[in-house]
Amino acid sequence: MILVLNAGSSSLKVEVFTSDLTSVLSGAVTSIGTDGAIKLGDETVRTKTANHADALAQMLDALAHAGITLDKLTAAAHRVVHGGTILTQPARVTPQVIAAIESAIPLAPLHNPNNLAAMLALQAVAPGLPQYASFGTAFHATNPAVATRYAIPQTEHDAGIRRYGFHGLSYAGMVASFGTALPARLLALHLGNGASLCAIKDGRSIATSMGYSPLSGLTMGTRSGDIDGAAVLRISAALGEDETDRMLNKNSGLKALGGDNDMRSLLNRHDAEAAFAVDHFCYWAARHAGSAIVAMGGVDAVAFTGGIGENAAPVRDKIMAFLACFGDVPVHIIAADEEKQIARDALTLMGPA
Ligand code: AMP
């Protein structure tokens, strides 16, 4: 069995898979660092965890109680948000890989340290257990330089100011789920609280709407999506860096336009403010879709995933109405399963049993 770990800023999610990628059990520790809960399967127990290492120890205990002891695991596989420019493929966790994840901390200061903490804590309690890592940015490593380069001086580019793209595990999982039926030019939209889209040509990402960080591109639940750098400078001069960061990442998007970051609630309301927020979301998704379609030289199919993409038919319909100018394109709805993709990556690296 493979234990997939996703260490977020204050949570640790786990899912256990068999070697044929069947999910056996999933759970999470929430509110790490304070009074939180540990949930495994249908059971939830309130608990207090000091840090990610402590959360992992408590989760391993809970798994053991559920019959999944460490000796039953053949590998652990981690989700790492940012692989930087070095980690462009899933990898076995080695000292070199740990150093590369550390070197990408400036690019994902809230996420990569937690991913590392989970790896090191697991290594300490299970030194013989092979560990693997999949990177949220890696799928976009195939984007051409013309797509990843910002038109700014080389020194800044060399310092890491370039487009990376995110949601890569979701897109890689989508490609895997199409199998041999994968369309040559696929417009993929991951629409959840975070939202992005990706031009996938012959199974490879060639353009994506997120850039240096997950802030850019589409209108999102609480993130602004694209905004002119000069506007950011002016807001920052008035409010300071931290408050600007909070505004653009946590208090913008649907929340700013509709007073609610939840698409389902917005669709259930019938006032002008909610309608405008939904229209803004769909319009900008379609504007970015046009750009991605041009990068692919056309489009053979569109695929939606994520909480909104999978469930919000009115949103899909509005976006597809804009895209009608590209002809009658087949639409697919694919369940996002990043954990399964992480397990799949680890199995591929492990090779035949
Ligand atoms: P995610 O980040 O992928 O979990 O997606 C969260 C978003 O999906 C929220 O905006 C939810 O309101 C939205 N969502 C989930 N289910 C539905 C639904 N049935 N109809 C509309 N939106 C939904």
Cβ neighbour number for residue 204 with a 10 Å cutoff: 13
Q: Tell me, what's the pLDDT at 58?
A: 95
Q: Tell me, what's the pLDDT at 128?
A: 95
Which range of residues forms the domain containing residue 122? 2-135
Same domain (yes/no): 189, 333 = yes
Same domain (yes/no): 79, 24 = yes
Q: Tell me, what's the pLDDT at 159?
A: 95
Q: How confident is the model at residue 157 (pLDDT cuts 50, 70, 90)?
A: very high
Same domain (yes/no): 326, 195 = yes
143/140 Cα distance (integer angstroms): 6
Give the CATH number for residue 70. Answer: 3.30.420.40
Is residue 349 one of the residues assigned to a domain?
Answer: no
What is the mean pLDDT of the segment spanning 316-326?
Answer: 98
What is the mean pLDDT of the segment spanning 67-95?
Answer: 97
What is the SS3 assignment for 78?
strand
The phi and psi torsions of 316 (rounded to 5 degrees) equal -55, -45
For ligand 1, say whether the CB of 141 is within 6 Å of any of its atoms.
no
Is residue 259 one of the residues assigned to a domain?
Answer: yes
Same domain (yes/no): 206, 323 = yes
Same domain (yes/no): 196, 332 = yes
Q: From start to end of the chain, where are the E strands?
A: 2-7, 12-17, 23-30, 35-40, 43-48, 75-80, 91-92, 131-135, 185-191, 195-201, 204-208, 301-305, 331-333
Percent of the chain with pLDDT over 70: 100
Is residue 171 one of the residues assigned to a domain?
Answer: no
Q: How confident is the model at residue 199 (pLDDT cuts 50, 70, 90)?
A: very high
Is residue 352 one of the residues assigned to a domain?
Answer: no
109 pLDDT exceeds 90? no
Task: Work out which ligand 1 atom sits closest to the CA atom of 221.
Answer: 10
Q: Tell me, what's the pLDDT at 59?
A: 97
For 23-72, the pLDDT digits (tens) are 999 999 999 999 999 999 999 999 999 999 999 999 999 999 999 999 99
- The two beta strands, 2-7 and 12-17, are antiparallel
DSSP state of 34: S
Same domain (yes/no): 215, 331 = yes
Is residue 66 one of the residues assigned to a domain?
Answer: yes
For ligand 1, say whether the CB of 258 is within 6 Å of any of its atoms.
no
Same domain (yes/no): 72, 205 = no
- Domain limit, last residue, from 135, 169, 193: 135
**What's the pTM value of the predicted model, to 2 decimals?**
0.95
Q: Tell me, what's the pLDDT at 230?
A: 98
Give the residue with greater pLDDT, 353 vs 188.
Answer: 188
Same domain (yes/no): 62, 199 = no
Is residue 21 one of the residues assigned to a domain?
Answer: yes
Q: Six-digit token pair at 171?
A: 């897109």
Q: How confident is the model at residue 195 (pLDDT cuts 50, 70, 90)?
A: very high
For 208-232, the pLDDT digits (tens) are 999 999 999 999 999 999 999 999 9
Is residue 15 one of the residues assigned to a domain?
Answer: yes
For ligand 1, say whether the CB of 262 is within 6 Å of any of its atoms.
yes
Q: Tell me, what's the pLDDT at 88?
A: 96
Q: Tell me, what's the pLDDT at 14?
A: 98
Same domain (yes/no): 251, 115 = no
What is the mean pLDDT of the segment spanning 290-312?
Answer: 98
Q: Tell me, what's the pLDDT at 330?
A: 98
Q: Rounded to the nearest whole angstrom, what is the distance from the C-alpha of residue 304 to the centroid of ligand 1? A: 12
Same domain (yes/no): 95, 191 = no
Across all residues in the chain, what is the average pLDDT?
A: 96
What is the mean pLDDT of the segment spanning 321-349?
Answer: 97
Q: Rounded to the nearest whole angstrom, what is the distance from the C-alpha of residue 265 to the centroid of ligand 1? A: 9
Q: Rounded to the nearest whole angstrom, what is the distance from the C-alpha of residue 308 to the centroid of ligand 1? A: 4
What is the mean pLDDT of the segment spanning 98-124?
Answer: 93
Which residue among 169, 255, 280, 311 has the greatest number of ligand 1 atoms within 8 angstroms of its CB, and so is best to mutate? Answer: 311
- The two beta strands, 35-40 and 43-48, are antiparallel
Is residue 165 one of the residues assigned to a domain?
Answer: no
For ligand 1, say whether the CB of 56 is within 6 Å of any of its atoms.
no
Same domain (yes/no): 188, 327 = yes
Q: Six-digit token pair at 23?
A: 């999910």
102/107 Cα distance (integer angstroms): 10
Task: Work out which ligand 1 atom sits closest to the CA atom of 306.
Answer: 3
Q: Rounded to the nearest whole angstrom, what is the distance from the C-alpha of residue 202 to the centroid of ligand 1? A: 29
8 pLDDT exceeds 90? no
Which residue among 264, 268, 269 has the greatest number of ligand 1 atoms within 8 angstroms of its CB, and so is best to mutate? Answer: 264
353 pLDDT exceeds 80? no
Same domain (yes/no): 125, 209 = no
- Count of the separate structural domains present in the chain: 2
14/76 Cα distance (integer angstroms): 10
